[in-house]
Amino acid sequence: MTPRELLGRWLSRQIPTEAWTWLDKSVAQIRNSGKDADLYLAVSLVTRKVGKADLKLTEADQRDAHSSRSGWDPRQWSVDQAARIMLILELESDPLRLARALEQLCNTADVGEQAAFYRGLPLYPEQPRYIARATEGLRTNMKAVFEAIAHRNPYPSEQFPEPAWNQMVLKALFVGATLWPIIGLDRRANPELARMLCDYAHERWSAGRPVSPELWRCVGPYASGTMLQDLERVLKKGTEPERAAVALALHASRESAAVSLLEREPALTKSLARGDLSWERIVAPN
Amino acid sequence: MRFIDPHIHMSARTTDDYERMAAAGVVAVIEPAFWLGQPRTNSGSYLDYLSSLVGWERFRAAQFGIHHYCAIGLNAKEANNAALAEEVIALLPRYLLKEGVVALGEIGYDDQTPAEDKCYRAQLDMAKELDMVVMVHTPHRDKKTGTITSMKVAEEHGVAPGRVIIDHNNEETVEDVLNRGFWAAFTLYPHTKMGNERMVEIARRYGSEHIFVDSSSDWGVSDPLAVPKTAQLMLERGIKADDVEKICYGNALTAYGQSGQIKDSDWLDPAPIDQRNLFEGNSVLRGQQARVDELQQIPDRLKDVVFK
């Protein structure tokens, strides 16, 4: 099944009959009229007609999602987001028209619509077309919109050039978004990002502000020289979550200096060996 | 006691205002689209403005635990720029049905010109077609005539009076508005509109049916605490708490609630998804019952409650 078909299946199962009738009629209208204005109106009306409940998915649904589009993770979608993306995908056979219509929709979007349009990024045809739109979206200061792009979304790691990727990770820390839900975080780690993150940590230390333990995750694999000194500093002076984060970061490094730093921490080494430490648990202990 | 300010231009206000409003018990605001002081020269700048009303400003308010709604429309002043007006009216359907848009407004007359009349009528037709509540701005000059014309034209276009809020009333207009079955809103705006001692007298004389107050605060000398201050003054001067609650909260909720886009459950029992998207970490009001007889702790500057 295509993602569009899956969205239809999930929605028809969950939303009230009259809401589904409306959605089905709107889809037909968009298909038959060929007028973008019908799409704009239907997309705006979605919350009024369909509501905003969480989209209810089973584990089998999640597997279907993943096999119809690898990396697609709709677990935290809501029904309005699903319906809006389903309406937009009605244009998928004409990628240029879809791209133009989406640009128009983004230009007049409310907060909820922005989040929906960006969550849909991995599903639009001709994926590279949307790089500029996605990086524009990340300039927002609205955390919900930022996270719609950065979290549980395979699009950035697949499409972003390195500078855009690095800006996204750094900005996540700035806006207080967690890093662990970013897809491809480890795969896209790079020396330049490690340097930027260490500089950022120094800025925070100079200002007497806390540094997110997650920051060290993208530093670990490329830590050398002064970066290892930074990690050592956190091991010595950090809180327990920070020390656990540094242990995980060092564990990802092949540098002999990193290995020997870790060897000086028998308790943390033991926790690592037992598999007690994970990035997710460092941020959300429960 | 909790409050709604059903007409306030928050885009022109600071975060200090949001903080003080939240502390004084304001739970929701309605921001109608209006003139920015500096006339717009093209529809693009109007488009960005409307986007910020349904986007950024809503988020900004949410950070202070205040629910932000808006009204979308072409204001009377800019209706006089024919080229701009035509393009903006064509854009409106893109915004009118968005989430949290509680009315088409503020529309109506300023100088009472033919151009204003044309745009007012076109927007009334749009409201009728999309089944929307309408917020009408009444003119500063030749007010009584302008107010009566506004109501006659709305009736002529088949918009039910019970779905129209006539704003910026005063002692001279209130009777006509109530007699015709429209909602009468009063703007408590120092110097140019109503002072709040006058409002107490209006409440004494006309009661609390179909009447509510707002601040219309904007970039001018105005007071974003006008609604809570007036509530306090009314209580001090012997207006019953139930009536004060209706004038400063309940009636605006009923009038704009007809849109289906504003409900007290939005702040009394926010859906988890709203908490996740906008109201992160703010569950102060969750499940709490309204207590109409009790005022919130009042910030220092609210102590001087009378303004002229």
In a domain, B291, yes or no: no
Contacts (Cβ under 8 Å, ≥6 apart) of B144 = B172, B173, B176
User: Which stretch of DSSP H or E encloses residue A20?
Assistant: helix A17-33
The residue among B125 and A252 whose pLDDT is bigger is: B125
Q: Does A6 touch chain B (CB under 8 A)?
A: no
Is A116 inside a domain boundary?
Answer: yes
Co-location of A216 and A270 in the same domain:
yes
In a domain, A31, yes or no: yes
Q: Does B220 touch chain A (CB under 8 A)?
A: no
| Binary contact (B280, A143; C-beta < 8 A) | yes
User: Which residues on A lie below 8 Å from B55 (Cβ)?
Assistant: 109-111, 114, 142
Interchain CB contact of A263 with B (< 8 Å):
no
A148 and A195, same domain (yes or no): no
State chain A's mean pLDDT as an integer: 94
The tally of domains found in chain B comes to: 1
Contact: B271, A143; criterion CB under 8 Å: no
Domain count across chain A = 2
Mean pLDDT for the stretch of residues A278-285: 82
Which residue does chain B place closest to A77, by CA atoms? B273
CB pairs A-B closer than 8 Å: 58
pLDDT in the model for residue B296: 59
A270 within domain boundaries? yes
Domain of B87, in residue numbers: 3-266
Number of helices (H), then strands (E), in chain A: 17, 0
Which burial class, exposed, middle or buried, applies to A52 when counting CB atoms under 10 A from its CB (0-12, 13-18, 19+)? middle
What average pLDDT score do residues B294-305 get? 60
**pLDDT attached to residue B299:** 57
State which residue of chain A sits closest to B92, comparing Cα positions: A108
Phi, psi of B29 (to 5 degrees): -130, 150
Interface test with B, best of A108, A143, A151 (most B CBs within 10 A): A108
Question: What's the token pair of residue A20?
Answer: 């589904």
Task: Look at B100 and A110 and tell me if their CB atoms are within 8 Å.
Answer: yes
Q: What is the mean pLDDT of residues A231-258?
A: 92
Pairwise CA distance, residues A137 & A117, whole Å: 10
Q: How much is the pLDDT for B284? A: 35
**Among candidate residues A55, A142, A113, A140, the one with its CA nearest the CA of residue B99:** A113
End of a domain among A145, A160, A175?
A: A160
Least confident of B148-157, B182-191, B270-279: B270-279
The two three-digit tokens of residue A102, written as one number = 């989406």
Rounded-to-10 torsion of CA B82, B85, B87, B90: -130
Dihedral angle of Cα A264, A268, A272, A277, to the nearest 10 degrees: -150
Q: Do B94 and A114 touch (CB under 8 A)?
A: no
Tell me the chain B residues in contact with residue A45 when contact means C-beta distances shorter than 8 Å.
97
A81 touches chain B (CB under 8 A): no
Helix (H) or strand (E) run with residue A103 in it:
helix A95-107
A165 in any annotated domain: no
Q: Does B44 touch chain A (CB under 8 A)?
A: no
* Closest by CA position to B51, among listed A145, A56, A53, A87: A145
* Distance from the A224 Cα atom to the nearest Cα atom in chain B, whole angstroms: 38
Say whether residue A135 is in contact with chain B using an 8 A CB cutoff.
Answer: no
Mean pLDDT over all residues of chain B?
90
Statement to judge: residues A225 and A107 lie in one domain: no
A151 and A196, same domain (yes or no): no
Q: What is the pLDDT of residue B286?
A: 35
Taking CA atoms, B303 is separated from A274, B99, B306, in Å, by 61, 36, 9
Q: Domain end: A160, A179, A212, which one?
A: A160
Whether residue B285 is predicted with pLDDT greater than 60 in this model: the reply is: no
pLDDT band (50, 70, 90) for residue B281: very low
Q: Do A144 and B277 touch (CB under 8 A)?
A: yes
Distance to chain B for A32, nearest Cα, Å? 20
Q: Which residues of A191-222 are buried (b: 16+ CB within 10 A; e: fewer)?
A: eebbebbbebbeeeeeeeeebbbbbbbbbbbb
Contacts 24+ apart (CB under 8 A), B56-60: B56/A142, B57/B10, B57/B11, B57/B31, B58/A110, B58/A111, B58/B100, B58/B278, B59/A111, B59/A141, B59/A142, B59/A144, B59/B278, B60/B10, B60/B15, B60/B18
Indicate whether A13 and A76 sit together in one domain: yes
Domain that holds residue A31: 3-160
**Which of A120, A140, A160 is where one domain is finished?**
A160
Position A179 in a domain = no
- Interface check for A28 against chain B (CB to CB < 8 A): the answer is no
What pTM did the predictor assign? Answer: 0.83
Query: Is A107's CB within 8 Å of B100's CB?
Result: no
Distance in angstroms (rounded) separating the CA atoms of residues B135 and B96: 13
Domain annotation covers residue B14: yes
DSSP B194: B
The C-alpha angle with vertex B195 and arms to B197 and B153, in degrees rounded to 5, equals 115
Interval B21-79: pLDDT, tens: 999 999 999 999 999 988 898 999 999 999 999 999 999 999 899 999 999 999 999 99
CB B95 to CB A54 under 8 A? no
Going from the C-alpha of A184 to that of each of A158, B38, B79, B110, the distances in angstroms are: 8, 47, 51, 57
| Judgement on whether residues A155 and A196 belong to the same structural domain of the protein | no
Whether the complex's predicted ipTM surpasses the cut of 0.90: no
Q: What is the pLDDT at residue A255?
A: 86
For residues A86 and A8, the answer to whether their CB atoms sit within 8 Å is yes
pLDDT, position B277? 57
In a domain, A57, yes or no: yes
| Other Cβ atoms closer than 10 A to A21 | 12
pLDDT at A1 > cutoff 90 = yes
From CA B287, how far away is CA B268, in angstroms rounded? 6
- Cross-chain Cβ contact A114/B55 below 8 Å: yes
**Contact check, Cβ <8 Å, A115/B277:** yes
| Candidates A44, A143, A144; nearest CB to B97 | A44
Percentage of chain A exceeding pLDDT 90? 86
Contact B97 A48 (CB under 8 A): yes
Considering the domain architecture, whether residues A20 and A155 belong to the same structural domain is answered as yes
- The CATH number given to whatever domain includes residue B226 is 3.20.20.140
Residue of A nearest to B276 (CA): A144
- Any domain includes B280: no
Query: In this structure, are A150 and A254 located in the same domain?
Result: no
| Shared domain check, A218 and A142 | no
Angle between helices A143-150 and A162-175 (to 10 degrees): 140
The answer to whether residue A182 sits within a structural domain is: no
Judged by a CB distance cut-off of 8 A, whether residue A35 touches chain B is no
- pLDDT tens-digit series, residues A185-200: 999 999 999 999 999 9
Distance CA B118, CA B105 (A): 15
- Chain A nearest-CA residue for B279: A144
pLDDT, tens digit, for every residue of A8-49?
A: 999 999 999 999 999 999 999 999 998 999 999 999 999 999
* Residue B303 in domain: no
Q: Could you give the CA distance from residue B197 to residue A10 in angstroms, rounded to a whole number?
A: 57
- Do residue A224 and residue A126 come from a single domain? no
The confidence band for B190, taking pLDDT boundaries of 50, 70 and 90, is confident
* Domain match, A202 and A147 both: no
Based on the domain organization, do A60 and A142 belong to the same domain? yes
Residue ranges of B 248-267 with Cβ closer than 8 A to chain A: 260-261
Closest approach of chain A CAs to the CA of B41, in angstroms? 19
By Cβ distance, the residue of A44, A111, A141 closest to B278 is A111
Residue bearing tokens 């849109």: B259
Is A109's CB within 8 Å of B55's CB?
yes
Per-residue pLDDT reduced to its tens digit, B164-173 = 999 999 999 9
Asked whether the beta carbons of residue A52 and residue B271 sit closer than 8 angstroms, the reply is yes
The confidence score (pLDDT) of residue B283 equals 35
Residue A187, token pair as written in the block: 């795969």
Q: Is B95 on the interface with A (CB under 8 A)?
A: yes
Query: Is A47 inside a domain boundary?
Result: yes
Residue among A44, A54, A144 minimizing CB distance to B278: A144
Non-local (6+) Cβ contacts of A66 within 8 A are A72, A73
Q: Provide the CB-side half-sphere exposure for B31 (13 A, CA).
A: 26
Q: Which helix (H) or strand (E) holds B69?
A: strand B67-72
> Cβ separation of B54 and A111 shorter than 8 Å?
yes
Name the strand (E) or helix (H) holding B186.
Answer: strand B183-187
**Structure confidence by residue, pLDDT tens digits, A103-147:** 999 999 999 999 999 999 999 999 999 999 999 999 888 889 999
Q: Of chain B residues 161-200, which have a CB less than 8 A from chain A?
A: none
Does position B276 have pLDDT exceeding 80, yes or no?
no
Share of chain B above pLDDT 70, in %: 89
Confidence at residue B303, expressed as pLDDT on a 0 to 100 scale? 61
Pair B85, B73: CB distance under 8 Å: no
- Rounded (10°) CA dihedral B3, B7, B8, B11: 120
* Residue B282 confidence (pLDDT) above 70: no
Above 70 in pLDDT, residue B290? no
Going by C-alpha positions, the residue among A151, A211, A210 that lies closest to residue A185 is A151
Residue B90 has a CB neighbour count (10 Å cut-off) of 10
Query: Per the CB < 8 Å rule, is B273 touching A144?
Result: no
Phi and psi at A271, nearest 5°, equal -60, -40
Yes or no, beta carbons of A41 and B95 under 8 Å apart: no
Dist. CA A180–CA A285, nearest whole Å: 13
Q: Which of A108, A115, A141 is closest, CB to CB, to B47?
A: A108
User: How confident is the model at residue B294, as a pLDDT?
Assistant: 57
